[in-house]
């Protein structure tokens, strides 16, 4: 009984609050306090601000406070707002779903949008799209500011883009693109289409790359990819951290092959500490070695490690580009010294007469020939020389490895030669000015007439 009384009281109160058609005569819907709350936000739809509800709402039945839309919902807005649509139309616009994005009465945002267009609006529909679930989001995507790249209603460009190709990227990245265009060495995709390498929405890889760095690069640089795939030894810089970007700038550089720094500086950026090899040995701290040994090998002086080492991968030890004997002794074969003979004359070791060929000679006798050019147990270059740098002239090493043992060469240079006292023989001195032995005439030879 008490509940019934309450319901009757509630119905009477509602009836009293709703004005009759007679009371509404000449007045707007907001003047009785019923819909005044539709005029309180920052942006009010003009008909609402004027209390003109009739353009959108029509009385369903005379003498009742029941209303229906004046037009079907999907055609309601077009009664006043005629859009000139381009050939690519946003699906909600195509379907007449204007109210998905716009509030018909009032809003805190420009153009009666239901949310901030630079933050939440587009995410009301697109928050669950697959690209929103990836690790690295493009800044505008993360913010929901899709309108930076896409037109909200329609566009002449596919995907509702406001511009195409690199012109679109330049809307935000103009400074970067101008700097790239001024660089001496420009990556071809930079002049074509940024989307060739970058996903404009998101990626599981840094910088919205479409693939991990190495896979992306070798999709164009097939020769490098084939070398990496076929080689037993792959440079750690290709597989670690930023991969190709450890050495190369992705867009542009003032240096060839888009290096960030000259070759030597790039290499020493990693080789400034001992680094392990897969076989358990360690690569020397090259930065320290070069600092402590002032006599640098020619390629080091020219800051070009790639003269001897392939920067990507190789079938040869230490990523060498050509053959170089690994052991202390080796039968002489010019093919085993291809690396050295790319710069040095092969007769440095193959010519017995060293005049004009080498400073390492006794008179004219080429002492390189004596040491190296042997059918068995020829001493290889590494038996005497440091391949990167040393404290002695001619890159003579101080200490030479011999199996698990190391011995000191003890080389002392003189004005016309030098003295060498390695463990393989007693101290010996050579002199470039020494006269060769006098030639003896053959037995039975007669003086010339």
pLDDT in tens, 349-404: 999 999 999 999 999 999 999 999 998 889 999 899 999 999 998 889 988 888 78
Cβ burial of 158 (10 Å; 0-12, 13-18, 19+) is exposed
Q: Are residues 353 and 384 in the same domain?
A: yes
Q: Are residues 293 and 361 in the same domain?
A: no
| pLDDT for residue 6 is more than 60 | no
The structural domain count of the chain equals 2
Question: 406 pLDDT band (50/70/90 cuts)?
Answer: confident
Residue 285 lies in a domain: yes
Q: How many CB atoms neighbour CB 254 within 10 A?
A: 12
Q: Where a domain ends, among 293, 319, 345? A: 319
| pLDDT for residue 429 is more than 80 | yes
Residue 260 confidence (pLDDT)? 85
Residue 341 lies in a domain: yes
Q: Are residues 334 and 402 in the same domain?
A: yes
Which value, to the nearest 10 degrees, does the dihedral of the CA atoms of residues 428, 432, 433, 439 take?
Answer: 80
Residue 401 lies in a domain: yes
Q: Are residues 335 and 426 in the same domain?
A: yes
Q: Range with the lowest mean pLDDT among 339-348, 352-361, 417-426?
A: 417-426
Residue 2 confidence (pLDDT)? 44
Give strand pairing partners of 160: none
Give strand pairing partners of 259: 248
Residue 12 confidence (pLDDT)? 41
Length reported for the chain: 449
305 versus 64: the higher-pLDDT residue is: 305
| pLDDT for residue 405 is more than 80 | yes
Residue 10 confidence (pLDDT)? 37
Q: Are residues 345 and 392 in the same domain?
A: yes
Angle value at C-alpha 326, between 312 and 298, nearest 5 degrees: 65
Q: How many CB atoms neighbour CB 272 within 10 A?
A: 13
Residue 434 confidence (pLDDT)? 82
Q: Where a domain ends, among 297, 319, 341? A: 319
Separation of alpha carbons 388 and 395, rounded Å: 8
Residue 18 confidence (pLDDT)? 54
pLDDT tens per residue across span 145-192: 999 999 999 999 999 999 998 999 999 999 999 999 899 999 988 888
Residue 64 confidence (pLDDT)? 80
Separation of alpha carbons 407 and 401, rounded Å: 7
Mean of pLDDT values over 196-219:
95
Mean of pLDDT values over 91-117:
95
| pLDDT for residue 46 is more than 90 | yes
Residue 15 lies in a domain: no
446 versus 234: the higher-pLDDT residue is: 234
Residue 117 lies in a domain: no
Q: Are residues 306 and 336 in the same domain?
A: no
C-beta of residue 106 within 8 angstroms of C-beta of residue 48? yes
| pLDDT for residue 112 is more than 90 | yes
2 versus 261: the higher-pLDDT residue is: 261
Mean of pLDDT values over 227-246:
94
Q: Taking all residues of the chain, what is their mean pLDDT, rounded to a whole number?
A: 88
Residue 335 lies in a domain: yes
Q: Are residues 300 and 334 in the same domain?
A: no
Q: Are residues 344 and 305 in the same domain?
A: no
Question: 305 pLDDT band (50/70/90 cuts)?
Answer: very high
Residue 423 lies in a domain: yes
Q: Are residues 302 and 343 in the same domain?
A: no
Q: Are residues 238 and 288 in the same domain?
A: yes
Question: 11 pLDDT band (50/70/90 cuts)?
Answer: very low
C-beta of residue 110 within 8 angstroms of C-beta of residue 175? no
| pLDDT for residue 28 is more than 90 | no
Q: Are residues 342 and 413 in the same domain?
A: yes
| pLDDT for residue 438 is more than 80 | no
**HEC secondary structure over the chain:** CHHHHHHHHHHHHHHHHCCCHHHHCCCCCCCCCCCHHHHCCCEECHHHHCCCCCCCEEECCCCCCCEEECCCHHHCHHHCCCCCCCCEECHHHHCCCHHHCECCCEECCHHHECCCCCCCCCHHHHCCCHHHHCCEECHHHHHCCHHHCECCCEECCHHHECCCHHHHHHHHHHHHHHHHHHCCEECHHHHHCHHHCECCCEECCHHHECCCHHHHHHCCCHHHHHHHHHCCEECHHHHCCCHHHHCECCCEECCHHHECCCHHHHHHCCCCCCEECCCCCEECCHHHHHHHCCEECHHHHCCCHHHCECCCEECCHHHECCCCCCCCEECCCHHHHHHHHCCCCCHHHHCCECCCCCCCEECCEEHHHHHHCCCCCEECHHHCECCCEECCHHHECCEEEECCEEEECCCEECCCEEEECCCCCCCEEEECCCCCCCCCCCCCCCCCC
Domain of 297, in residue numbers:
232-319
36 versus 81: the higher-pLDDT residue is: 81
Residue 111 lies in a domain: no
Q: Are residues 270 and 361 in the same domain?
A: no
| pLDDT for residue 16 is more than 90 | no
């Amino acid at each position: 009984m008490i509940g019934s009384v309450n319901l009757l009281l509630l119905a009477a109160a509602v009836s009293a609050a709703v004005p009759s058609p007679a009371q509404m005569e000449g007045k707007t819907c907001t003047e009785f306090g019923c819909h005044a709350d539709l005029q309180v936000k920052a942006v009010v739809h003009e008909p609402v601000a004027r209390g003109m509800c009739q353009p959108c709402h029509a009385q369903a039945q005379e003498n009742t406070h029941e209303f229906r839309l004046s037009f079907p919902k999907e055609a309601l807005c077009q009664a006043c707002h005629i859009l000139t649509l381009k050939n690519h139309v946003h699906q909600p616009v195509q379907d007449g779903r204007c109210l998905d994005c716009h509030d018909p009465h009032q809003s805190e945002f420009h153009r009666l949008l239901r949310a901030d267009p630079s933050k939440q609006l587009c995410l009301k529909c697109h928050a669950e799209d697959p690209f929103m679930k990836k690790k690295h989001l493009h800044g505008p995507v993360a913010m929901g500011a899709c309108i930076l790249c896409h037109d909200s209603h329609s566009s002449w460009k596919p995907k509702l883009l406001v511009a195409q190709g690199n012109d679109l990227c330049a809307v935000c990245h103009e400074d970067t693109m101008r700097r790239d265009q001024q660089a001496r060495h420009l990556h071809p995709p930079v002049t074509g289409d940024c989307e060739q390498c970058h996903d404009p929405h998101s990626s599981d890889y840094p910088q919205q790359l479409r693939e991990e760095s190495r896979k992306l690069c070798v999709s164009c640089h097939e020769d490098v990819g084939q070398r990496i795939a076929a080689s037993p030894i792959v440079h750690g810089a290709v597989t670690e951290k930023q991969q190709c970007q450890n050495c190369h700038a992705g867009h542009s550089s003032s240096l060839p092959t888009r290096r960030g720094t000259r070759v030597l500086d790039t290499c020493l950026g990693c080789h400034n500490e001992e680094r392990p090899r897969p076989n358990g040995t360690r690569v020397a701290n090259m930065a320290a070695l070069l600092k402590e040994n002032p006599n640098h090998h020619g390629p080091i002086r020219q800051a070009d490690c790639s003269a001897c080492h392939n920067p990507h991968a190789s079938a040869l030890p230490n990523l060498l580009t050509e053959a170089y004997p690994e052991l202390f002794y080796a039968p002489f074969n010019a093919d085993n010294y291809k690396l050295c003979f790319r710069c040095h004359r092969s007769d440095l070791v193959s010519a017995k007469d060293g005049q004009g060929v080498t400073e390492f000679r006794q008179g004219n006798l080429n002492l390189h020939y004596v040491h190296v050019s042997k059918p068995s147990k020829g001493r290889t270059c590494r038996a005497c020389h440091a391949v990167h740098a040393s404290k002695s002239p001619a890159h003579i090493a101080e200490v030479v490895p011999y199996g698990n043992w190391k011995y000191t060469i003890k080389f002392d240079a003189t004005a016309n030669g030098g003295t060498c006292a390695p463990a393989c023989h007693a101290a010996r001195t050579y002199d470039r000015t020494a006269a060769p032995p006098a030639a003896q005439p053959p037995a039975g030879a007669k003086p010339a007439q």
